[in-house]
Amino acid sequence: MSTGTGAFVSRALKASAVAGILAVVAGYLPTGLEAQTRPASGAVPSLSGIWMRAGGAVVPKELPLNARGIALREAIDESLAPMYDCVPATVPHILGDPYNFSIEQRNDRVIIKFEKDAVTRTVWLEGHNHPAATNNDYALHGYSVGRYENGTLVVETTKYTFDPGGLEDKPPMVASSTQKKTIERYSRDGAKLMAEVTLEDRLILKEPVLFKFQFTPTKEALVEWPECDPVQARAPIDYMPVNQLKYGIR
């Protein structure tokens, strides 16, 4: 090999190496982590858009409550219903309400926005170095992490706070504990969005229960939900006759 040819090959190798580094930085080539965590082609369903209820919901007729759950159901009455203090509904019940919601799929997270109560949830996708949940991440809607499995978005939510209506938000209400966990599975069936929710709470339920919902796409923008007025929200309880309340206490 001549000196000139050797120099040319050396420059070519250096240029190739630099181009490779730039491609990784620009996102054209996967890093080792990206290569391991990026779903296979076709594994990510198209869920982004605005969705409306399509009927066909399947909900348990009765929750399999243990002794603690039965006692809580007997103790909780209408005055303790969180909605009368502007507290939004949580999963799975918010999916059963007749209001639209949107899904936005990003590279490292999924954003779910509900019309009702202007609720916004963030689902942190695995494999993107998001910090793990801490003891300070307990919240009404919990802490959600997600992943794609064979064309399905799987969302696991833990760290729910105690909620008087967390397992059943309509009378007779059933509270949920901080052990409440939901596993949501979102997939497509043609134009429809299918959602399955497994609800667990080992302190209150004897076994997990399954909810199913169906949604269809809509071009209608989400309605801007008015800010809840605490006085107006509490008004139904204030006007309810005391003898209609379980304990006569508002």
From the options 1.25.40.10, 2.40.128.20, 3.20.20.110, 2.60.40.420, give the CATH code of 49-221+230-244: 2.40.128.20
pLDDT tens, residue by residue, 79-117: 999 999 999 999 999 999 999 999 999 999 999 999 999
Joined together, the tokens standing for residue 159 give: 């760290």
DSSP 173: P
DSSP 160: B
What does the CA dihedral 154, 116, 177, 181 come to, rounded to 10 degrees?
Answer: 0
Instruction: Give the Cβ contact number of residue 101 at 10 Å.
Output: 22
Joined together, the tokens standing for residue 68 give: 């603690």
User: Would you give the distance in Å from CA 151 to the centre of its chain?
Assistant: 17
pLDDT tens, residue by residue, 129-171: 999 999 999 999 999 999 999 999 999 999 999 999 999 999 9
Measured CA to CA in angstroms, residue 118 lies from 11, 36, 42, 112, 224 at distances of 58, 36, 32, 10, 7
Tell me the β-bridge partners of 217: 51
Mean pLDDT for all residues in the chain: 87
Joined together, the tokens standing for residue 29 give: 């080539």
The domain limits of the chain are 3-29, 49-221+230-244
